[in-house]
Amino acid sequence: MRTDPSRRRFLQSLALLALPVFAKGEDTLGPVPTLLAARWGKSFGPVAGATVATPSRGHGIIPVSASEAIVIARRPGYWMMRVNWQSGEIVRQLAAAPERHFFGHAVLSPDGKQLLASENNIQTGQGLIGIYHPATLQKLGELPSHGIGPHELIFIDEQTLAIANGGILTLPQSGRNKLNLASMEPSIVLLDWPSGKKRSQHILPDPSLSLRHLALAEDGTLGIAIQAESSTGSSVDDAPLLAILKDGQFSLAQTVPGLGGYAASIAAVGNQFIVSALEGNALALWDTNGRATQQYGLLRPAGIAAWQGKALISTELGVITQLDPHNGKLTPLASYPSIKWDNHLILASPKHR
């Protein structure tokens, strides 16, 4: 079978063992960008290439130049580092400030001059947004997140920062144990940037639905991936996986039963939200009105990166797959059986997004 040269270059750069599924040579992928991901264990790096050893498991990744990215420790985390993912060099490493820990995510300000990280005030249990210099990692200040357990952050526009407050309290002495499942307070908060003034706060009727990861659709709708909890130990298999904030209205998207209650990641491709239902072994799609449109079976899907009208997906089984949401085609691209990818897959260069 003839392989298109652009696909061949991709497989050579990405794969230790490639599992391509090609229908015809003219059905090309084009030049696929470098993908960055943290792995279970203590390492981070491009999907193929240099590996950076980390003090503990990493989570969020923020590209800051053509060859460097900032990696944040998984919740509750105590380090962030700026790394050169091409060479494997740790450029700079920072420990969390006293009485603070990280929640695994950060975002660059619209002008690229500040890095905003979700943090916990250990003394009060209240969420904070730490402000850092992205080159030196020097801490410049803090803003309240107006909630407990802030997780992912995203700029809706240059003056509006959206924060997913997961609502779950964690403390150093108890590690990842969730201390307030019976009194969770998840919320979406919109802050004015750079003043930090709270513009609005959005809360779902069911406080057991932890709001974690964010994606912005082309029409400005914010998609919020949900990780359901239960203080009684009852099943969450049929719990909602997506909420949407559209034109100031906050609501649950249509619930699809049997998806496992845990959305590992979310991405927006045009005006479609794609969610990795890790426990349900599926990818689930919704439109920006919250209507469920399709589900595709995929074992242990984890990170999702939107790219050129398609989605690239990592799995906990080491597979990298492409989904074309327009025709529903899932194309396995590469397999790394010894690697368990974390929940996020990031395009290394912003120009490819």
Report the run of H or E that residue 164 belongs to, with start and end: strand 160-165
Whether 276 shows a pLDDT value over 70: the answer reads yes
Six token digits for residue 151: 């997780």
Q: For the segment 291-344, what is each residue's pLDDT rounded down to a tens digit? A: 999 999 999 999 999 999 999 999 999 999 999 999 999 999 888 888 889 999
| pLDDT for res 31 | 58
Whether 27 shows a pLDDT value over 60: the answer reads no
Geometric angle at alpha carbon 71, from 330 and 186, rounded to 5° = 75
Highest mean pLDDT among 8-22, 34-48, 156-170: 156-170
Stretch 212-223: mean pLDDT: 98
Q: Which residue type is seen at 141?
A: G
Whether 22 shows a pLDDT value over 80: the answer reads no
Confidence tier at 85 by pLDDT (50, 70, 90):
confident
Six token digits for residue 17: 């063992």
CA 5 – CA 194 distance, rounded (Å): 46
Stretch 22-35: mean pLDDT: 50
Q: For the segment 35-49, what is each residue's pLDDT rounded down to a tens digit? A: 899 988 777 667 766
Confidence tier at 181 by pLDDT (50, 70, 90):
confident
Whether 7 shows a pLDDT value over 80: the answer reads no
Geometric angle at alpha carbon 143, from 141 and 145, rounded to 5° = 145
CA 276 – CA 236 distance, rounded (Å): 16
CA 255 – CA 240 distance, rounded (Å): 5
Report the run of H or E that residue 118 belongs to, with start and end: strand 115-121
| pLDDT for res 232 | 79
- 56: helix, strand or coil: coil
Six token digits for residue 95: 């420990």
Q: What is the chain's mean pLDDT, rounded?
A: 87
CA 61 – CA 288 distance, rounded (Å): 26
Confidence tier at 353 by pLDDT (50, 70, 90):
very low
Question: Are 235 and 280 in contact, with CB atoms under 8 Å apart?
Answer: no
- What does residue 40 show for φ and ψ, rounded to 5 degrees? -60, 135
Higher-scoring residue by pLDDT: 249, 13? 249
| pTM attached to this predicted model | 0.89
Whether 34 shows a pLDDT value over 50: the answer reads yes
Strands in 150-157's sheet, in edge-to-edge order, are 150-157, 160-165, 187-192, 198-202
CA 334 – CA 254 distance, rounded (Å): 32
